[in-house]
Amino acid sequence: MEFLLYLALGACAGVLAGLFGVGGGIIIVPVLVFSFKAQGFDPSILTHLAVGTSLATIIFTSVNAIREHHRRGAVRWPIFVWLTVGILIGAGFGALTAEAISGPNLQKIIGVFALVIAAQLALDLKPKASRTVPGKFGLTVAGSVIGWASAIFGIGGGSLTVPFLTWRSVPMQQAVATSSACGLPIALSSALFFMILGWHDPLLPAHSLGFVYLPALLGIALTSMFFARIGARLAHKLSPKLLKRLFAALLFCVGLNFLL
């Protein structure tokens, strides 16, 4: 039953990754936390295991989303390169920060983040395009912050990267596409750090590579790679206003559950 849940979760995460450039982690982490609790995993490590596993799944989600966006010429590769430089720096510090936070407190932090994203989606809050794209140093600094926060929350960074790029006058479709591309270095570097940091933890369940739980990774990866392409295609065809609000309602419930 757990594996079927992971397959369904991968499908949802894939569509979200392609449609919004959010990497799917914002919904993967809470579901994995609930799943790991049901399986009786130790409370002190299950949140870190959920975050690390989520980041590893985003590797697979990002690949197909990037291919689809690149095929449509929407990825701003020069922006991607310098954001990635910062992301690789920030992701390591983010993983170290997450490891230093206790499991219950990390859940509360993720809950607050889910509520913030829910409000942003429900109210359609977007920064106005008021500035131009920064230079190499500015993009590197921004990438460091995005990478740091993404590693803590177990996300692909889209909920941070997309608003930043739209604020910097990048058109929405290009912002989503470039954000999807940035999800790959975020996931690769952060997942690697979570594997290393959790490698010798005696409380981890069987079939774990550090803070990455392989059965969940496999199930989510199998479906997310296919559905990410569907989400990317929808991003170029549909107005996702209603879907955003439904997604916001789900995140609101998740956030409250983590905080109460």
Question: Which of 227, 214, 230, 228 shows the shortest CA–CA distance to 56?
Answer: 214
**What confidence tier does 91 reach under pLDDT thresholds 50, 70, 90?**
very high
For 128, the token pair is: 């106005």
Look over the chain and give the mean of its residue pLDDT values, rounded to a whole number: 86
Contact status, residue 154 vs residue 52, Cβ threshold 8 Å: yes
Q: Which of 16-20, 103-107, 200-204 has the lowest mean pLDDT?
A: 16-20
**pLDDT score of 134 more than 80:** yes
Per residue in 45-84, pLDDT (tens digit) is 999 999 999 999 888 878 877 888 888 888 999 999 999 9
- Higher-pLDDT residue of 257 and 133 is 133
Cα–Cα distance measured from residue 79 to residue 83, given in angstroms and rounded to the nearest whole number: 6
pLDDT given for residue 242 in this prediction = 67
Cα–Cα distance measured from residue 65 to residue 255, given in angstroms and rounded to the nearest whole number: 27
Question: Which of 23, 256, 254 shows the shortest CA–CA distance to 150?
Answer: 23
pLDDT given for residue 49 in this prediction = 95
Q: How many residues does the chain have?
A: 260
Per residue in 8-26, pLDDT (tens digit) is 888 887 777 667 656 567 7
DSSP labels, 149-194 = HHHHHT--SHHHHHHHHHHTT--HHHHHHHHHHHHHHHHHHHHHHH
pLDDT given for residue 217 in this prediction = 93
The share of the chain scoring above pLDDT 70, in percent, equals 93
Per residue in 220-240, pLDDT (tens digit) is 888 877 787 787 777 667 665
pLDDT given for residue 243 in this prediction = 65
Place of tokens 């930043």: 164
- Higher-pLDDT residue of 33 and 245 is 33
Contact status, residue 109 vs residue 101, Cβ threshold 8 Å: yes
Mean pLDDT of 168-184: 88
